């Protein structure tokens, strides 16, 4: 990361939001701006001592005065963004983070009253509400906080803000705990998740069996424009798709907030929690005629025969599940590479044609000349 910072700071006129480097700040900023994160005077000053580029710091009024003076993490981020009043940074920003709950049970719009604190609201460079994540900081796009500072203020202000955030992030031990490194205790599902997973999979298998039985008896209700086989495939796909996300939501609702996977998913860094703990889900594969693998009978309609992987990386994959998962990834890579290759070929051909020929348009007649 030191090389990336030096490269970006060599010429501030060409400063842009570093996409890969911002990933290191997603989790730390998300944890720092929690509603229940507070600093006493000693902890706050230890963070401010790292800001050697800020000669003057305007200390805000503590969020809690008695019995002990405590400053919130949002106030600390306000200092990192604008250490004192002479810094020419004025930010007014409204962002809906990934964890934002738009309406409550009574269909009322929550905004700053979001129970998950997912509505990020800046006014006059002061963070009023919200936890930072991928949407707020930006992912190399033009809608993030640093891109707004770069566009509205100047490159030096954006670089200084990122520099101060990097110093606090890299030198505070408790923030370094949220660096994306996971342990066995983070990826081990609790008993509630395991029980809920079994119930979800059992219910999905039961629905698939009902569709297969109705298909065999000729009683399956057809979808408009589809025959019986196409209807069966569509119904089973609808049941199996999204099971990984359902199990992931159960895990996120039942685990502790300090779990690394939970923080990674909420801040927008990664979204593979369901595959690691729940199940890999339905794999998009192309196999033999009338079946995906020779391990299954021909014309089999069961979820496993259609490429559904019920295990996760934590529980381990069977031989057929491992092969299906590898085959699906291979198909995706080949499709992407072949598509990119075809596009590059078209660009090369188009550039050769435009450079090798000059044409003149006379009405409906085009005359080419070398």
Angle, helix 155-171 to helix 19-32, in steps of 10 degrees = 60
229 half-sphere exposure, CB direction, 13 A CA radius: 3
With a cut of 90, say whether residue 70 has pLDDT above it: yes
CATH of the domain at 201: 1.10.132.30
Residue at 365 is within a domain: no
Token pair 């057929």: residue? 320
- Which comes out higher in pLDDT, residue 230 or 174? 230
Which pLDDT score, from 0 to 100, does residue 206 have? 92
Same-domain pairing of 150 and 99: yes
Token pair 């703990």: residue? 277
Kindly compute the dihedral angle of the four CA atoms of residues 70, 71, 73, 79, in this order, to the nearest 10 degrees.
Answer: -160
The Cα-based distances of 324 to 52, 276, 292 in angstroms read 54, 16, 9
Distance of CA 74 to the CA centre of its chain: 22
The Cα-based distances of 234 to 111, 133, 191, 220, 362 in angstroms read 38, 36, 33, 12, 53
pLDDT in tens, 339-362: 555 555 556 555 655 554 444 444
**Domain end residue (candidates: 176, 204, 238):** 176
Residue at 339 is within a domain: no
Token digits for 200?
Answer: 């979800």
Residue at 43 is within a domain: yes
Running DSSP on this structure, what letter comes out for residue 366?
E
Same-domain pairing of 17 and 146: yes
Which pLDDT score, from 0 to 100, does residue 353 have? 54
Pairing assessment for the beta strands 281-282 and 126-129 based on DSSP bridges: unpaired
Query: Phi/psi of residue 365, each to 5°?
Result: -110, 130
List helix spans (H) across 172-223. Answer: 173-176, 184-187, 191-217
Whether the CB-CB separation of 189 and 274 falls below 8 Å is answered with no
Same-domain pairing of 31 and 104: yes
Residue at 346 is within a domain: no
Distance of CA 60 to the CA centre of its chain: 33
Range of the domain at 61: 2-176
CATH of the domain at 112: 1.10.274.100
- Mean per-residue pLDDT over the chain, rounded: 77
Residue at 201 is within a domain: yes
pLDDT in tens, 86-123: 888 888 888 888 888 877 777 777 787 888 888 888 88
The Cα-based distances of 28 to 24, 51, 273 in angstroms read 7, 17, 19
Same-domain pairing of 145 and 292: no
Collapsed DSSP state (helix, strand, coil) of residue 82: coil
Q: In angstroms, rounded to a whole number, what is the distance separating the alpha carbons of residues 92 and 315?
A: 47
**Cis amide leading into 180 (omega within 30):** no
Same-domain pairing of 221 and 279: yes
- Which comes out higher in pLDDT, residue 158 or 240? 240
Whether the CB-CB separation of 157 and 105 falls below 8 Å is answered with no
Domain count across the chain = 2
pLDDT in tens, 7-46: 544 455 555 555 555 666 788 888 888 888 898 998 888 8
Same-domain pairing of 73 and 196: no
Element (H, E) at 367: strand 365-369
Q: In angstroms, rounded to a whole number, what is the distance separating the alpha carbons of residues 167 and 71?
A: 19
Q: Is the pTM of this model over 0.85?
A: no
Q: In angstroms, rounded to a whole number, what is the distance separating the alpha carbons of residues 13 and 8?
A: 10
């Amino acid at each position: 990361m030191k090389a990336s910072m030096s490269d970006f700071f060599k010429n501030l006129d060409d400063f842009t939001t570093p996409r890969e480097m911002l990933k290191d700040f997603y989790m730390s900023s998300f944890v720092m701006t929690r509603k229940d994160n507070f600093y006493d005077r000693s902890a706050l000053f230890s963070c401010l001592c790292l800001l050697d580029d800020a000669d003057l710091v305007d200390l805000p009024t503590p969020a809690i005065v008695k019995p002990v003076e405590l400053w919130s993490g949002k106030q600390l981020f306000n200092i990192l963004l604008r250490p004192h009043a002479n810094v020419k940074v004025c930010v007014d920003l409204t962002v809906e983070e990934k964890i934002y709950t738009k309406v409550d049970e009574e269909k009322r719009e929550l905004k700053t009253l979001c129970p998950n604190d997912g509505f990020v609201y800046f006014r006059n460079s002061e963070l009023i509400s919200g936890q930072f994540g991928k949407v707020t900081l930006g992912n190399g796009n033009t809608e993030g906080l640093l891109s707004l500072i770069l566009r509205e203020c100047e490159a030096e202000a954006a670089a200084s803000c990122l520099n101060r955030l990097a110093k606090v992030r890299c030198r505070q031990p408790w923030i370094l705990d949220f660096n994306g490194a996971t342990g066995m205790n983070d990826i081990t599902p609790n008993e509630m998740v395991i029980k809920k997973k079994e119930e979800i999979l059992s219910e999905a298998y039961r629905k698939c069996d009902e569709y297969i039985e109705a298909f065999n008896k000729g009683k399956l209700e057809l979808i408009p424009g589809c025959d019986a086989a196409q209807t069966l495939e569509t119904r089973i796909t609808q049941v199996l798709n999204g099971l990984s996300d359902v199990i992931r939501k159960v895990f996120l609702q039942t685990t502790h907030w300090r779990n690394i996977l939970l923080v990674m998913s909420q801040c927008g860094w990664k979204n593979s929690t369901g595959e690691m703990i729940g199940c890999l889900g339905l794999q998009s594969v192309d196999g033999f005629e009338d079946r995906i693998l020779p391990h299954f009978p021909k014309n089999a309609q069961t979820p496993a025969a259609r490429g559904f992987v019920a295990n996760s990386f934590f529980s381990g994959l069977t031989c057929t599940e491992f092969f299906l998962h590898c085959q699906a990834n291979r198909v995706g890579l080949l499709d992407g590479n072949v598509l990119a290759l075809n596009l590059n070929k078209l660009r090369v051909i188009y550039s050769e044609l435009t450079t090798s020929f000059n044409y003149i348009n006379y009405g409906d007649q085009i005359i080419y000349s070398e």
